[in-house]
């Protein structure tokens, strides 16, 4: 007879808690003093927010993978919002010089 031991279930069970923590993150595009979109600052703030929310799960080896995936998804959302914002500004006749993606 074989004995099977399953370990790490507590780590898997925390996945839903991690997802709930990440869903609480609200971010907006940051702007610099000239009113231009600050992509680097926006990305940095988002990454810090993800790290803060997942800090309570730092003992869980899955937390890094979940955090990395969330950061990538949030980066894509930030870029999408920045492009949409840039497009709206440009179509409104506002100058967008200095805005680089």
The residues spanned by each domain of the chain are: 23-77
Q: Which residue has the tokens 């730092």?
A: 58
How far apart are the C-alpha atoms of 70 and 81, rounded to whole Å?
16
H or E element at residue 46: helix 39-54
pLDDT in tens, 15-69: 889 988 988 888 777 888 877 888 899 999 999 999 999 999 999 988 999 999 9
Note if the pTM is more than 0.85: no
pLDDT at 88 over 80: no
Binning pLDDT at 50, 70 and 90, where does residue 4 land? very low
| 3 state SS for 78-95 | HHHHHHHHHHHHHHCCCC
């Amino acid at each position: 007879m074989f004995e099977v031991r399953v370990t790490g279930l507590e780590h898997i069970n925390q996945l839903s808690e991690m997802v709930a923590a990440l869903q609480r993150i609200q971010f907006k595009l940051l702007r610099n003093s000239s009113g231009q979109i600050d992509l680097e600052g926006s990305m940095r703030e988002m990454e810090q927010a993800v790290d803060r929310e997942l800090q309570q799960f730092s003992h869980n080896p899955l937390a890094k993978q979940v955090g990395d995936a969330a950061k990538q998804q949030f980066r894509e959302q930030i870029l999408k919002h920045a492009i949409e914002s840039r497009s709206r500004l440009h179509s409104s006749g506002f100058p967008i010089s200095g805005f680089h993606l």
